[in-house]
Amino acid sequence: MIPLKRPLSHPSFIFNKSNSKSLRSLIKNTPSTNETFSSPIPIFYFKFSDSTMPIFAANSSSFSRVNTHFPDSVNQPTLTYKAQTFPQIRTFCVKRTNPNAELSASNDIPIVSTVSGPIQTSQPIDAGSSMRKPISLWPGMYHSPVTNALWEARSSMFEKSFAEKDSQTELVAKTPSMSRTSIAYKFSSDYILREQYKNPWDEMRMGKLLEDLDALAGTISYKHCRNDDGATRPILLVTASVDKMVLKKPIRVDFDLKISGAVTWVGRSSMEIQMEVTQSTPDSPDPSDSVAIVANFTFVARDSKTGKSAPLNQILPETEHEKLLWKEAEERNKMRKQKRVAEKKDVDNRDEDRLNKLLAEGRVFCDMPALADRDSILIRDTCHENSLMCQPQQRNIHGRIFGGFLMRKASELAFSNAYAFAGAAPCFMEVDHVDFFKPVDVGNFLRFKSCVLYTELENPMKPLINVEVVAHVTRPELRCSEVSNKFYFTFTVRPEAMKEGLKIRNVVPATEEEARRVLERMDAERSQ
């Protein structure tokens, strides 16, 4: 076997040298310049687009890229004539499952990498195959391997709901186990999957994990709304909020990971789904110590025609653990309602002393900058921004922008902001409660604005950096801009960086509006 020389951007191709003949002799005797050839062993095929340059495409399950880099020094494999048209190749490398099979409640969804490689043995799936239809169910190709698998698992539900217009509308009670779904990440054995989830410091990209959690929560919500006949009533299910998520242990990208979840509580038109991210490592072989993140997603149901709230299937907890989760979720729901009532009250009655104390140093920066504390910085000097057009490839099944996509973009901007502020790679600690105020549609101009809101420096070896990200939905034609989401992330830096003399600066507000935002966040942190 002779490895073929190629640029670093191309995958390795290895061809069998045995019984090979000169490629040029075959080309010389070719009767036409617009033919397709293949080898006896289906390694590759090629087409002569003109009289001088052949185009080669891999025909193995491990190869999916075009290669035109054949050096003169390598003997070419034997080719045989085969008159056929050259097919257009579009590959979508996710392990294929039966699209018509029902998704069982206890199924683990297999996840494979979306890029084929030398150790990848899954068959590529043509993006134009019948498995990808109807096209409205497959909102684009930007998704991660997890969201690809979830769209595939969800497709059977929607194909039934579209085929059966007169599906039953009666509500049924379902157990949490009927919606439970798990996803396994085989990071230890799938190096290409691992490459898609690691950041430049060989750590987990938390933004992609947040995106996957939202996608899995959406799939679970649709499983709960499915009736016994497999049909789904014509309702819209959207992410309303996400409770605070705290990283309980570091997540490593070289060990297998699992996320699982189920519906734990249902109201009239809303439901709560609890998700768990678990990972067993040599440091924590005990299953009780393997939980890295617990996340609670709230989804609301809307009638697809009227847009009003729609009733949901109720929940019937069976085990003691399921009953405990239901009780905890009920308490959280009551607290959310109380919080919304409290937020409507007058917020101007805050402690004026706290407000003035926060503004004191900011006024020095504005009025006497030469005398300002060199270990402090104004909030406005920590700002970063990212803008993008919302493309059709980023939409969900309802034609709106996928909520997990928004969470990932906000997380990545917050990470970049903390990195630029600290001067060292930040470590994710938590993301606070997220509310989805306004839907984001395809074609909207989306702006993410972030800043370091405040820092907590009580522990010099573990300083905390609190980053605010606000997503604005901008419609230039209407000359309007609305807040879609607010995200609050907390990061720290590694102790090794602090030991090397890294110093985190204090952040101070310059305006009363900034000072009120800081106080609101501090009070929200203390109340949790």
Whether residue 427 sits in one domain with residue 361: yes
Structure tokens at 15: 């061809």
Q: At what angle do helices 206-225 and 145-163 cross, to 10 degrees?
A: 20
Whether residue 226 sits in one domain with residue 305: yes
Average pLDDT over residues 204-223: 91
* 162 pLDDT more than 80: no
* 479 pLDDT more than 70: yes
Which residues lie below 8 Å from residue 166, measured CB to CB, with a gap of 6+? none
Residue 139 lies in a domain: no
Q: Pick the last residue of a domain from 301, 318, 335.
A: 318
Query: Which among 281, 7, 12, 279 has a CA at the least distance from the CA of 120?
Result: 12
The residue that leads in pLDDT, 193 or 413, is 413
pLDDT score recorded for residue 117? 39
Whether residue 459 sits in one domain with residue 401: yes
Whether residue 371 sits in one domain with residue 314: no
Question: Is the Cα torsion angle 511, 512, 514, 515 positive or negative in sign?
Answer: positive
E-strand spans in 166-278? Answer: 181-185, 235-242, 245-246, 257-266, 270-278
Q: Quick one: pLDDT band at residue 193, thresholds 50, 70, 90?
A: confident
The model's pLDDT over 78-136, given as tens digits with 9 standing for 90+, comes to 444 444 444 443 333 334 444 444 444 445 655 544 443 333 333 332 322 333 333 33
Average pLDDT over residues 183-207: 90
Q: How many CB atoms lie within 10 A of CB 212?
A: 27
Whether residue 263 sits in one domain with residue 210: yes
Structure tokens at 503: 């110093």
The residue that leads in pLDDT, 402 or 482, is 482
Structure tokens at 210: 């947040």
E-strand spans in 400-443? Answer: 426-431, 434-436
Residue 6 lies in a domain: no
Whether residue 381 sits in one domain with residue 445: yes
* pTM (predicted TM-score): 0.71
Q: How many CB atoms lie within 10 A of CB 237?
A: 23
Distance of CA 211 to the CA centre of its chain: 2
Average pLDDT over residues 333-350: 66
Total structural domains within the chain: 2
Query: Contact at 8 Å (CB) between 11 and 65?
Result: yes
Average pLDDT over residues 353-367: 89
| For the chain, percent of residues with pLDDT exceeding 90 | 40
Residue 264 lies in a domain: yes
Average pLDDT over residues 233-255: 89
Whether residue 405 sits in one domain with residue 314: no
Q: Quick one: pLDDT band at residue 229, thresholds 50, 70, 90?
A: low
| For the chain, percent of residues with pLDDT exceeding 70 | 64
How many helices (DSSP H) and strands (DSSP E) are in the chain? Answer: 9, 24
Whether residue 306 sits in one domain with residue 175: yes
- What is the SS3 string spanning 160-171? HHHHCCCCCCCC
In which region does residue 353 sit, left (phi positive, over 0), alpha (psi from -120 to 50) or beta (all else)? alpha
Whether residue 237 sits in one domain with residue 152: yes
Q: Pick the last residue of a domain from 318, 337, 360.
A: 318
Q: Which amino acid is at 417?
A: N
Q: Which amino acid is at 248?
A: K
Whether residue 490 sits in one domain with residue 448: yes
Q: Which residue has the tokens 């729609």?
A: 310
Whether residue 520 sits in one domain with residue 379: yes
pLDDT score recorded for residue 109? 59
Long-range CB contact pairs, 160-164, < 8 A, 24+: 160/229, 160/230, 160/231, 160/232, 161/231, 161/232, 161/233, 161/234, 162/134, 164/229, 164/231
pLDDT score recorded for residue 103? 44
E-strand spans in 390-509? Answer: 426-431, 434-436, 445-456, 464-475, 480-493, 506-508
Q: Quick one: pLDDT band at residue 324, thresholds 50, 70, 90?
A: very high
Highest mean pLDDT: which range of 29-33, 137-141, 328-332, 435-439: 328-332
Q: Pick the last residue of a domain from 318, 341, 369.
A: 318
Average pLDDT over residues 311-333: 93
Domain extent for 436: 350-527
Mean pLDDT of the chain: 75
CATH number, domain containing residue 249? 3.10.129.10
Residue 497 lies in a domain: yes
* 403 pLDDT more than 70: yes
Structure tokens at 527: 């109340």
Whether residue 436 sits in one domain with residue 312: no
By mean pLDDT, which of 113-122, 209-218, 360-369, 480-489 is the weakest? Answer: 113-122
Residue 510 lies in a domain: yes
Q: How many CB atoms lie within 10 A of CB 47?
A: 17
pLDDT score recorded for residue 284? 76
* 516: enclosing H helix or E strand: helix 512-526
Structure tokens at 423: 């001067």
